[in-house]
Amino acid sequence: MWHTSPMSELISRHQTGAPQNLEERFALRAAGMQPSEIRSLFAVASRPEIVSLAGGMPNLSALPMDMMASVVSDLILTNGAEALQYGSGQGHPLLREQICDVMALEGIRANPDDIIVTTGSQQALDLISRIFIDPGDVVLVEAPSYVGALGTFHQYEAQVVHVELDEQGLVPQALRDAIVGVRAAGKKIKFLYLIPNYQNPTGALLPADRRTEILEICREAGIFVVEDNPYGLLGFDRPSPNAMRAEDSENVIYLGTFSKTIAPGLRVGWALVPPSLKEKLVIASESSILCPSNFAQLTISRYLADQPWRDQIASFCDLYKVRRDAMLESLEEYFPASATWTKPGGGFYVWVNLPPEIDTKLMVPKAIVAKVAYVPGTAFYADGFGTWAMRLSFCHPTPERIRDGVKALGGVVKQEIARRSSAFEIKS
Ligand code: PMP
């Protein structure tokens, strides 16, 4: 399960004199900067004839654009000089207060002073990695985990160790075992990164008792918990359990974002951190972006102040629930009996397991010919695992397109299984 950067060759070339080619002129850390599997897929998946079950793009059709236009125009007309100016490196004080109200929905009582506003939660992942990870340090993550976080950890040359996850999220005993194993190997664990609500990519929801147990394990072991929570307010049938941060303000670094509940184009997220970490994070953020966009922050701030944002989240949930149902029903109808999949109560994603002989990465071109796209399971592992799995997202296409896409994909999967078993019969 170890993941190391193949750097030694590059290091020795760096030490032997004048650079020869571009690769050698790059800093060593640039070797870890590789495009994600999702990026190359997106170009194809965005063609109009393809049903994309690949991306996790929020569905903005439920967001009233005339209302957003009036929020933005009102902001510029009444407070343009501030909105279009540089702002505080830590983030706008008013928005930080409002973020506390948003987090209160998940049981968090926070001080606005402990919040750092970021350019999406992706920037928060980068900042945390920057201040904690030295090359070779271990980061524990769920198996599978969010591709964007894996990419960031990889760039900072962490060793990513996956910890078992089942339908109910991270397995506490597996976490204990991983901590013992990593430490026995003489490695330093910097933090546990997890997504407790409607996890990306599996849709798993971590129950309250497991949250408590995982917090205890990490506290005892002296390991920070990075709780990434973009989907917590997108539960379709009932609210998700309280955030882990609600139970532990000393050892949890909480990441939030408005990308899934308002709009990702505004790029506003945040980190709520134990007070001892704040200064380092603000300095790290200032060195990369000076300050988060005042325009985007004040747009969100006005929206939260003047618009019925809780109702808007409820309409997003209604829209996603219909799409989740369309996906689960059509998987039932069109996928082979040998496939299994998760049944998420919220969020954007379903995780499908196929028979082990199927390689979903090799199957992508066939799916594209059948006009459907998905993300192969290996994208969500740091170590090449997950060849038999795929992530399907139900957030963006209409329910009809989801049915068409799942039907087409089911056909490809069945053909692949038949091809594999006839190849096996010929060989044996
Ligand atoms: N974490 C997870 C688990 C995500 O799914 C995403 C977006 N797909 C992000 C973080 C980043 O979101 P953003 O930068 O838009 O806030």
Ligand 1 centre to CA of 303 (Å) is 21
pLDDT(427) > 70: no
Domain that holds residue 239: 82-307
Ligand 1 centre to CA of 260 (Å) is 8
Last residue of some domain: 239, 274, 307? Answer: 307
pLDDT digits over 279-328, tens only? 999 999 999 999 999 999 999 999 999 999 999 999 999 999 999 999 99
Which protein residue's CA is at the shortest distance from atom 13 of ligand 1? 120
Ligand 1 centre to CA of 126 (Å) is 12
Q: Mean of the pLDDT values across residues 113-122?
A: 98
User: Which of 146, 152, 253, 351 has the most ligand 1 atoms within 8 A of CB, as the residue to mutate?
Assistant: 146
pLDDT mean across residues, the chain: 93
E strand spans, 71-128 = 115-118
Helix or strand run (H / E) with residue 15: helix 8-15
Ligand 1 centre to CA of 276 (Å) is 25
Q: How many CB atoms lie within 10 A of CB 8?
A: 9
Helix or strand run (H / E) with residue 32: none
Which protein residue's CA is at the shortest distance from atom 11 of ligand 1? 122
Alpha-carbon gap, residue 182 to 2, rounded angstroms: 10
Alpha-carbon gap, residue 206 to 171, rounded angstroms: 9
Choose the weakest-confidence range: 14-28, 223-237, 351-365.
14-28
pLDDT digits over 121-156, tens only? 999 999 999 999 999 999 999 999 999 999 999 999
Please list every protein residue whose CB sits less than 6 Å from any atom of ligand 1: 56, 120-122, 146, 148, 195, 200, 228, 230, 257, 259, 264, 269
Domains identified in the chain, total number: 2
Alpha-carbon gap, residue 205 to 347, rounded angstroms: 10
Q: Mean of the pLDDT values across residues 204-233?
A: 98
- CATH value at residue 331: 3.90.1150.10
Alpha-carbon gap, residue 290 to 29, rounded angstroms: 23
Q: Which residues contact 239 (CB under 8 A, 6 or more apart)?
A: 105, 106
Ligand 1 centre to CA of 194 (Å) is 12
Place of tokens 């090359």: 135
Burial (Cβ within 10 Å: 0-12, 13-18, ≥19) of residue 424? exposed
- CATH value at residue 86: 3.40.640.10
Q: Helix 399-427 and helix 360-369: axis angle, to 10°? A: 120
Atom of ligand 1 nearest to the CA of 257: 16
What pLDDT sits at residue 10? 54
Q: pLDDT band at residue 2, thresholds of 50, 70 and 90? A: very low
What pLDDT sits at residue 297? 98
Buried b (16+ CB within 10 A) or exposed e, 32-66: beeeebbeebbeebeeeebbbbbbbbbbeeeeeee
Alpha-carbon gap, residue 24 to 355, rounded angstroms: 43
User: Do the Cβ atoms of 383 and 324 come closer than 8 Å?
Assistant: no
Co-location of 302 and 319 in the same domain: no
Q: Which residues contact 277 (CB under 8 A, 6 or more apart)?
A: 131, 253
pLDDT(1) > 50: no
Co-location of 261 and 143 in the same domain: yes
Atom of ligand 1 nearest to the CA of 119: 14
Q: Give pTM, 2 decimals.
A: 0.93
**Do strands 252-257 and 138-143 pair parallel, antiparallel, or not at all (unpaired)?**
unpaired
What pLDDT sits at residue 423? 72
Q: Mean of the pLDDT values across residues 201-206?
A: 98
Co-location of 163 and 245 in the same domain: yes
Q: pLDDT band at residue 98, thresholds of 50, 70 and 90? A: very high
User: Do the Cβ atoms of 132 and 117 come closer than 8 Å?
Assistant: no
What pLDDT sits at residue 14? 56
Last residue of some domain: 268, 285, 307? Answer: 307
Percent of the chain exceeding pLDDT 70 equals 94
Q: Tell whether 103 is covered by a domain.
A: yes
What pLDDT sits at residue 4? 44
Q: Tell whether 68 is covered by a domain.
A: no
Atom of ligand 1 nearest to the CA of 146: 3
Q: Mean of the pLDDT values across residues 232-249?
A: 96
Atom of ligand 1 nearest to the CA of 125: 10
